[in-house]
Structure 1
């Protein structure tokens, strides 16, 4: 009698454990298992190969740099970084505007300086204290500021090309689902300090 009772108890425990284990499998996994069972090994291998060969859109760094060299901001448009286009245009446009304004000022004071040296009337003749030396200093200052503006604008132009090329190089990494940079909480191993936010680079293989 005891053996029969022990055997029945063991059988009920086994059936209960098997039912729990079966129910613990999610519905999606059950569907996948049933689908996988209906496929041949060759078809399963093809499905796995198809998943592993996910197409990642490639962007040519050469084209990005060339487009950005032809027209500032065009490389950013090619990389689909549209929010950078107003920044590039604003920076280059501001530099060009400052250079043109200082060039106009230089021409203006240069003309007055030459006229003052020749003893001729100019637009600043009626202003007290404006001598040839003052006009010469102002024209030199305008020329120097124009040169600075041109140099800075050229630097911004080159940085725009570099930014487009670097973005194009990093585009496949950003589109790769196996490589992710995500925020995490960093815990202190000694548990003396609270957790601090940080970034984690995760690579799946």
Structure 2
């Protein structure tokens, strides 16, 4: 009888120690901070707040491709400003400004040689009359060359204008993809560990699964 009582006490003691005191565990559930009981300690509230912030969806800034395209169509470079790609604005304005300048200069040259060509055909004096060897044929070739260069400048300027719009639309459309933390392409310094060469600039591509 004493042996049975002793065995029963041993089993009861093992079960008692095997139980976990609820106060020794921390249950963390994703409850809103405003629903946490006021009886909770400050440390528990901070833990819940940190977990909520880490689990909260990342806010990604998005741009409207239609607005970006319209802005660039109205004023070149404005779409890049809308997309916050400020470094592209001087490139766009410089390309279009250079094209417009070359177009105007060639138009002026074409007008000069065109007037001289017409005056040479009519036997009148013009600004090139005092230059030996000037003929109507030479003036005609020169005016044609100026006209051709003007047309090329207009075509290139129009192409830069269209690319400005396309760039703004694509930038706005792909902005969310560029902000993906799992995919990053950024400049980096590359160092040759096996040689004595200095560090070189390059691009670093990282992708996280």
Is residue 94 of structure 1 aligned with residue 83 of structure 2? no
Normalized per residue, the structure richer in helix is 1
Cα-to-partner distance string for 1:141-193 (whole Å, 9 max, x where unaligned): 000000000001111111111111111112112223344346698xxxxxxxx
Aligned-partner Cα distance in 1 for 2:208–2:63: 21
Aligned-partner Cα distance in 1 for 2:132–2:96: 38
Q: Which consecutive residues of structure 1, in runs of 5 or more, have no partner in the other structure?
A: 1-36, 186-196
Is residue 57 of structure 1 aligned with residue 61 of structure 2? yes
1:98-177 equivalences under 5 Å are 98-177=102-181
Which of 60, 73, 77 matches 1:73? 77
1:27-42 equivalences under 5 Å are 37=26, 40-42=29-31
Equivalent residue number for residue 202 of structure 1: 207
Q: CA 1:121 to 1:184, structure 2 compared with 1: closer, same or farther past 3 Å?
A: closer
Contact 2:71 2:78 (8 Å CA) reproduced:
yes
Q: Which consecutive residues of structure 2, in runs of 5 or more, have no partner in the other structure?
A: 1-25, 33-47, 191-201
Q: CA RMSD in A?
A: 3.2
Aligned-partner Cα distance in 2 for 1:135–1:42: 86
Tell me which structure has the larger Cα radius of gyration: 2
With normalisation by structure 2, the TM-score equals 0.67
Contact 1:64 1:165 (8 Å CA) reproduced:
yes
Contact 1:98 1:149 (8 Å CA) reproduced:
yes
Cα-to-partner distance string for 1:108-156 (whole Å, 9 max, x where unaligned): 1100100111111111111100110111000000000000000011111
With normalisation by structure 1, the TM-score equals 0.68
